[in-house]
Structure 1
Amino acid sequence: MTGGYLDDTRAGYDATAAAYADRFHHWLDRKPVELAVLQAFAGLVGAGGHILDVGCGTGATTALFARHGARVTGIDLSPNMIGEARRRNPQLDFRVGAMAHLDVDDGSSDGLCAWYSVIHVPDDDLDAVFAEFHRVLRPGGLLLLAFQVGDRPRILDEAFGTTVSLVFHRRTPEQIVAAARRHGFTPYVDMVREPDDDGLESTPQAFLIVRRSTAF
């Protein structure tokens, strides 16, 4: 497994965490399609179910799941982003961690949300991430993924006036579904919407829900 992308991603979000939180923590308030997808996922998992929110950022999605009755744990690679999440949601559980090495027991979660977080994982490391998602989900558990659709990455060397080295891997739903199938997931929801005209999006956005196999 390559490690450079982890260091670069952590450093980029650590350096921009405060500015990112100020701009995007309430971003979902203006995104009815995304809210509907997240609420539907919470409903599928069910009240009282445990959701891992992997790549939770400022905890906006984590808090939404909690409001819908889930037991939820937010995990992010960036300590500074976890600091922002704890400051905004002090009642919730947030931890620093990497999605390919989650510090949770086998089969301990009913749902896992990777909301715009596998976008930073290179192709060579994607299988290890899906294998870990399969490990931590119970048989029949659900995985929600959101990502930008495309066939080439976006490379960002500046954000909020700060130098960063971030790569956003754009993929097709077919590529993500194929990776999920290789690790014992079957598709349940496959949805793509066109870019909004808010100046922030240049590609379609994909939302997938896949189900873990019922056998270990």
Structure 2
Amino acid sequence: MTHPTPPSDREFGEIDSLVSRIKSVARRLEVDDTTQAPPPFAYREALGELLASPHSGEASPLRYIANRHVPTLAEVFCADKSDEVFLNTAYRLLLNRAPDESGLESYLAQLPKAGRLYVLADLLSADETQTSLRQRGVRIDWQANLTRPIRLSRKLGPLKRLTRPFLRVGYRLASIVMRPRLQVLARLRAMEVRSQRRDELVRDVLLEIDGELQRTNEHVSAELQRLSEKQRAQQQDHTAFWSALQHYRRAVERMVAAPGAFSQSQAESEPPRNTPESAGLLSQARFDAYYLAFEDACRGSEEDIRRHLMNYQPLLEAAHHVGNQAMDLGCGRGEWLALLQEHGFTPHGVDLNEAMVEHCRKRGFNVTYADAIAALRQQPDNSHALVSGFHIAEHLPFDVLYTLVDEAQRILKPGGVMLLETPNPENVLVGSHTFYHDPTHRNPLTPTAMTFLLTYHGFGDVHIQRYNPYPESAKVPGDDPLTERVNGHFCGPQDFAVVGQKVAPMASAQESVNGDQEGV
């Protein structure tokens, strides 16, 4: 008797190629991801794609994978079925075809005398059966034992005819003895098949449900994305409306004010003249010199400050898209003015310290000795790309700080940037100790308060940037949560900056404001 030949070296190479194709399909279906089942019936499409590959011929290694069903003896024996059903099943499973008329009649005549085991042994001994099984890659484990008597009788040559009646009787007796057991196995097999079909049906339903859930999830994700974009657009409209409201408020204030009130308040806000009537001029000059020396000692050298200011370079690039006019309030020694000039801005510094003003003018900067509010009020609307103030906010009463932010918002162009840096009281040492090194400081300002102040005045994209933490050597050793919390409170950033961008007012509101201003 012949057996199916094992795969050759060439076929093993084809198997490797096939495995690569299977892995490719598996990756596409994401079968390794247990949280995402493949779309409904996609696994069947993938199997069909593999079966349609160029390697699906007679010698294809795919036959060892795709044809996994190996018929059992109980399945072929059909103990609880009729003889016709038995023969049709045997031909289909063993020869992969329906029985021919002559074969069917011959075996139906032999069954009462020989039994079904003899018919199966005779079929398995046929060359056609062996060829069919080999082509399909089916190996029947019980074939050797069942066909052994027939194979032994064939070795007797001409005498084999004499053994045939005894073989039939033996197979018949074996069929009678094995029938009850095979009936039980057949029923178990039928139950297994029904269970498998139910499992497949449940899997198909689950896959269909999964596909529907996946489509629903995609729809919900798209809807959430749409709502998120709509919310962002509404937020922008809200900010723009608030900016327009601030413009309108200022227009109303100008309408209510007396005709000469603005010029009078402007004159009152100018710094005192160097007249003989001015008292305390010498003491002010001494204090200005003292404060310049104090900044050199406590704030660091100009080189140190410049290195820190480089952190704001991205803001300069954003502001430069709007224009090149920049105003720095409380410009001090001019480190920021120098950086602005290097980045293509036309900077204008403002300071009330004559020593600072003289120091900056010697460096060639355009600096005005003036009050910050007065300097802002002299600027036209929508004229600047950047308004900045480094460590000036903590020196001002709140009403002055409020007015400063309000005026800065007025003179900025849409898209212009407002930047205010101040000591960070989130650091306990700063809020309780180092803040008071400067005798002109009033009180610390929190990031939350500064964020709200800019947002209230119509600035958009308001955010906080924190800088200058204590060095690692100053921190308490350890990496446990308590130590990290202590280090965060005592060694965290010593400064923060609040940054906001002017939002273009809504068109209708802006036209209304412009009309009211023309009436004024």
TM-score with structure 1 setting the length: 0.76
CA drift of 1:126 comes to 2.2
Pair 1:25–1:94, CA change in 2 (3 A): farther
Runs of 4 or more consecutive aligned structure 1 residues displaced over 6 Å after TM superposition: none
Question: Which structure is higher in helix share?
Answer: 2
- For 2:317, the aligned partner's letter is G
Q: Distance in 2 between matches of 1:58 and 1:13?
A: 15
Could you tell me whether the CA contact under 8 Å between 1:150 and 1:203 is conserved in 2?
A: no
Matched, 1:19 2:293: yes
Give the SS at the match of 1:204.
Answer: strand
Once residues 131 and 22 of structure 1 are traced to their aligned partners in structure 2, the CA distance between those partners, rounded to angstroms, is 31
Aligned with 1:99 (options 372, 377, 383) = 372
Instruction: Report deviation, 1:57.
Output: 0.5
Identity among equivalent positions (%) equals: 21
CA deviation map 1:8-67 (0-9, x unaligned): xxx586242542465479735335872333322221122761110111001111011101
Asked if the contact 1:13–1:80 (Cα under 8 Å) also holds between the matched residues in 2, the reply is no
Report SS of the residue matched to 1:171: coil
The question of whether the paired residues in 2 share the 8 Å contact of 1:25 and 1:60 is answered with no
Which one has more relative contact order, counting CA pairs under 8 Å at least 6 apart?
A: 1
TM-score, length-scaled by structure 2? 0.34
CA apart distance, 1:128? 1.2
Aligned to 2:316: 42
**Counterpart for residue 261 of structure 2:** none
* Corresponding residue SS for 1:167: coil
Which of residues 499, 504, 515 is equivalent to 1:209? 499
Deviations 1:122-164 (A, max 9, x none): 23432111111112212221111111112768445xx7xxxxx
Normalized per residue, the structure richer in strand is 1
Aligned positions of 1:67-146 closer than 5 A:
67-87=342-362, 89-90=363-364, 92-102=365-375, 103-146=378-421
User: Could you tell me how far 1:120 is from its partner in structure 2?
Assistant: 0.6
Quote the Cα distance in structure 2 between the aligned partners of 1:18 and 1:192.
25
Question: 1:18/1:42 Cα in 2 relative to 1: closer, same or farther (>3 Å)?
Answer: same
Structure (1 or 2) with the larger CA radius of gyration: 2
Kept in 1: contact 2:305–2:335 (CA 8 A):
no
8 Å contact 2:306–2:335 — kept in the other structure? Answer: no
What is the aligned-residue RMSD (CA, Å)?
3.4
Residue 333 (structure 2) aligns with: 58
Stretch moving more, 202-211 or 75-84: 202-211
Measured in 2, the distance between the counterparts of 1:40 and 1:13 equals: 36
Q: Which moved more, 1:20-29 or 1:106-115?
A: 20-29
Count residues in correspondence: 200
1:93 maps to amino acid: N
